[in-house]
């Protein structure tokens, strides 16, 4: 998915138009994930789970977010792990967005990861990319998000890792469709409610660990979940609630069997 500076400038213009008419300042992160959000939707509990997993392997764990984009999720993680780093191949993101690249994000290719990290986060590796080998070589714990049916090659079972846990959240597209139907499309309430029953949530979070640390990661995540506080949240989470993507919400769509954000242990 190579982006060119002119594409980015055009997209930025669309964002400015959208902003001028937006029904909520929180919508843009779901409609323009590359500029203002992430390709996976998250709540503060996802950040806290990620941090709990990292802390299972070290008091002051080293953490790398590979393909971090402009660093929206990474910035949240750094609230708890201030030394967390990011790696992003496309420097054009920063130039195109007209923002300064933070020092903690290196512009580099995942194939050139040059040191070991306690945890590597891979958020939405796009189709056609496969940097599982260098990721697997440089860590014992991997947290990855993948879009069911779209992202391929995001599984690490064949790389000497065990899957420890998983949960499901909406992707940006799931939320964006609901936002569009609710706020930016003329349609009757009955039609909107019918469409809402079909809402999907196809972003999967997988936690992998090498067998020697898998037990520690599993127990730490279990202990963390037992005291998880869904009221500790970001202001943009109101959009997820309003669109019917609540914490532990069960969707009517049979393709989404388990409640959202419910952790299953393998
Ligand atoms: C789908 S975006 C996801 C960005 C962010 N993680 C998120 O979820 O919003 C994938 C990102 O990975 C970056 N990327 C693709 N191939 C890469 C590689 N080999 N090394 C580092 N980054 C890469 C892309 O430039 C892009 O910013």
Per-residue pLDDT tens over the stretch 139-184:
999 999 998 877 666 889 889 999 999 999 999 999 999 999 999 9
Q: How much of the chain exceeds pLDDT 70, in percent? A: 97
Q: What is the mean pLDDT of residues 222-247?
A: 97
Q: Which CATH number fits domain 5-265: 3.30.360.10, 3.60.20.30, 3.20.20.70, 3.40.50.150?
A: 3.40.50.150
pLDDT-derived band of residue 3, with 50, 70 and 90 as boundaries?
Answer: low
d(CA 55, CA 178): 35
d(CA 10, CA 8): 5
**Ligand 1 contact, 40 CB (< 6 A):** yes
> Residue 55 in contact with residue 219, Cβ under 8 Å?
no
Q: Look at 5 and 245; give whichever has higher pLDDT.
A: 245
Distance between Cα 116 and ligand 1 center (Å): 19
pLDDT digits (tens, 9 = 90+) for 115-133: 999 999 999 888 788 899 9
d(CA 262, CA 166): 8
Distance between Cα 72 and ligand 1 center (Å): 12
d(CA 262, CA 180): 26
Ligand 1: atom nearest CA of 72 is 9
**Ligand 1 contact, 107 CB (< 6 A):** no
d(CA 200, CA 256): 7
**Ligand 1 atom 7 nearest Cα:** 38
Produce one character per residue of 149-165: b if its CB has 16 or more CB atoms within 10 Å, e if not.
Answer: eebeebbbeeeebbbbb
Radius of gyration of the chain from Cα atoms?
18
> Residue 94 in contact with residue 5, Cβ under 8 Å?
no
By C-alpha distance, which of 79, 57, 67 is closest to 134?
67
Place of tokens 């290196």: 106
By C-alpha distance, which of 2, 255, 256 is closest to 127?
2
Classify 11 as helix, strand or coil: helix
């Amino acid at each position: 998915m190579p982006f060119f500076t002119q594409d980015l400038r055009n997209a930025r213009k669309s964002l400015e138009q959208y902003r001028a008419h937006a029904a909520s300042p929180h919508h843009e992160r779901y409609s323009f994930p590359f500029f203002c959000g992430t390709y996976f939707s998250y709540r503060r509990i996802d950040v806290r789970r990620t941090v709990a997993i990292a802390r299972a392997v070290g008091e002051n764990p080293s953490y790398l977010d590979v393909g971090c984009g402009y660093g929206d999720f990474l910035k949240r993680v750094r609230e708890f792990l201030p030394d967390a780093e990011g790696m992003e191949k496309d420097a054009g993101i920063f130039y195109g967005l007209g923002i300064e690249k933070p020092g903690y994000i290196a512009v580099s290719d995942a194939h050139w990861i040059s040191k070991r990290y306690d945890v590597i986060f891979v958020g939405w590796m796009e189709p056609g990319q496969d940097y599982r080998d260098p990721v697997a070589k440089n860590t014992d714990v991997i947290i990855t998000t993948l879009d069911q049916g779209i992202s391929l090659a995001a599984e690490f079972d064949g790389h000497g890792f065990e899957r420890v846990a998983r949960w499901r959240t909406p992707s940006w597209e799931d939320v964006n469709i609901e936002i569009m139907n609710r706020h930016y499309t003329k349609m009757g309430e009955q039609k909107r409610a019918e469409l809402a029953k079909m809402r999907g949530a196809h972003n999967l979070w997988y936690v992998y660990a090498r067998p020697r640390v898998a037990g520690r990661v599993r127990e730490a995540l279990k202990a963390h979940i037992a005291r998880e506080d869904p009221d500790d949240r970001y202001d943009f989470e109101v959009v997820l609630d309003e669109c019917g993507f609540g914490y532990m919400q069960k969707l009517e769509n049979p393709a989404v069997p388990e409640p959202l954000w419910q952790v299953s242990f393998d």
